[in-house]
Amino acid sequence: MNIDIIPVTAFQQNCSIIWNDEKQAAIIDPGGDAPKLIKRIEELDLNLQAILLTHGHLDHVGAATKLKEHFGVEIIGPNSLDKYWFDALPQQSRQFGLFEVEAFEPDRWLDTESEILKIAGFEFEILHLPGHTPGHIGFIEHQQKIAFTGDVLFKQGIGRTDFPGGSYDDLIQSIKQKMYQLPDDILVLAGHGLHTTIGYEKENNPFVK
C-alpha cells in the first residue's frame, strides 16, 4: 500500500490517500482543502475509487462532497449513528469558524460489524468504534497491517468524548474490546498527530489501563 498523508484544515487532520501498484486509490477522511487534495490525486495520476469516512466531524468530512463531484465516486461510511453530525455540518462550520459545508449523507453507511469492504485492491475490515462519536468506524487492512481509526486512539492519547453523543465508557470499550484485540504490529494511522502501533499503545498509553 502506498500512502500519502496530507494534514488538512486548521485542525491538521490527517487525510490519507492510499493506492496500490495499479494506481487504484481511495481517500480517507478528506476534511477540507479540497483543491489541494484534488491536485495531489491528479499529480500522482491515481484512479480514485471511493471516499471513506471514519466519522461525521467537519474536519474529517468537509471536502468529501467536492471530491465526489470532481471524481464521480461514492462516499462510504461511517455508521449511520453519526447521521446527526452530517445533518449538523452547517452548524459545525460556524461553531469551529471553518469554511461553510452543506449537510450531506454518505452514499453508503457501514452498519455491519466486521463487514469486509473491498476498495482499490485492498480489503478493509470495518470495526464499529463508538465513543468519540456514536457512529465512528475504523478501516482495518489486515494484510497490510494498517488501521485507519480516526479520532479513537492517538499516540499516547485518546479521542475527546465531550461532544454531544460522545461517551467515555464507550470509547474505552472500543479501544480495549476491539482495537487492543488486533495484532500488536498493526500500524495505527490516527486522525491527528503521529502514527503508532497497537503494541506500543498497550504498553504506553496512559489513558487506557
Amino acid (one-letter) located at 164 = P
Alpha-carbon span 161 to 169, nearest angstrom: 9
In the sheet with 196-197, reading across from the earlier edge strand, the strands are 116-119, 122-128, 137-141, 146-148, 187-189, 196-197
- The DSSP bridge pattern shows strands 74-76 and 47-52 to be parallel
Least Cβ distance, residue 132 to Zn ion (angstroms):
6
Least Cβ distance, residue 59 to Zn ion (angstroms):
7
Alpha-carbon span 56 to 85, nearest angstrom: 5
- Which x/- pattern over 161-190 shows residues binding Zn ion (rule: CB under 5 A)? ------------------------------
C-alpha cell at 74: 461514492
Least Cβ distance, residue 45 to Zn ion (angstroms):
31
Burial group, residue 37, by CB count within 10 angstroms (0-12, 13-18, 19+): buried
- Residue 82 engages Zn ion in binding (rule: CB under 5 A): no
CB under 5 A: which stretch of 9-17, 37-45, 51-59, 194-202 binds Zn ion? 51-59
185 in Cβ contact with 198 (< 8 Å): yes
The residue within the footprint of Zn ion, chosen from 151, 157, 158, 190 (CB under 5 A), is 151
Least Cβ distance, residue 191 to Zn ion (angstroms):
6
Q: Which is nearer to Zn ion, 33 or 151 (CB)?
A: 151
The residue within the footprint of Zn ion, chosen from 19, 57, 149, 171 (CB under 5 A), is 57
Helices 34-43 and 64-71, axial angle in degrees (round to 10): 40
Give me the residue whose beta carbon is nearest to Zn ion: 57
CB under 5 A: which stretch of 3-11, 80-88, 92-100, 150-158 binds Zn ion? 150-158
Q: Which is nearer to Zn ion, 57 or 178 (CB)?
A: 57
Alpha-carbon span 47 to 83, nearest angstrom: 28
- Which x/- pattern over 110-149 shows residues binding Zn ion (rule: CB under 5 A)? ----------------------------------------
In the complex, the residues that contact Zn ion under the rule CB under 5 A are 57, 151
